[in-house]
Amino acid sequence: MLEKYVPRIKRFIATTQEKPFDRVYNFGRFSYGDRCVFVAKEFGARSLKLAGFNFDDSGVNTIKKKKLKWARELIGKFGI
């Protein structure tokens, strides 16, 4: 599927988990798991399983708790 669809991509937004550079931007430092959900749904996934994704992890710092709250809300919009 990559060989079929990648050549069709003319423009894209590159993101990073780390320090942005050139034309690569960091939009809120969400996890790769969040992005994977969005990409999978865009390509027609009917269901997803998020292995190791714990929205209620009490062992994380305040910032990560906020990220997990947003992740739950955004991913929830996809009916997962």
Question: Hey, CA dihedral for 51, 79, 1, 26, is it positive or negative?
Answer: negative
pLDDT by residue for the chain (80 residues), tens digit each? 889 988 998 877 665 566 667 877 666 555 667 777 888 888 888 888 777 778 898 998 998 888 888 888 888 877 66
- What pTM does this model have? 0.53
Cα gap 66→58, rounded to integer Å? 12
* CA dist list (Å): 36 to 4, 17, 26, 58, 66: 19, 14, 16, 23, 19
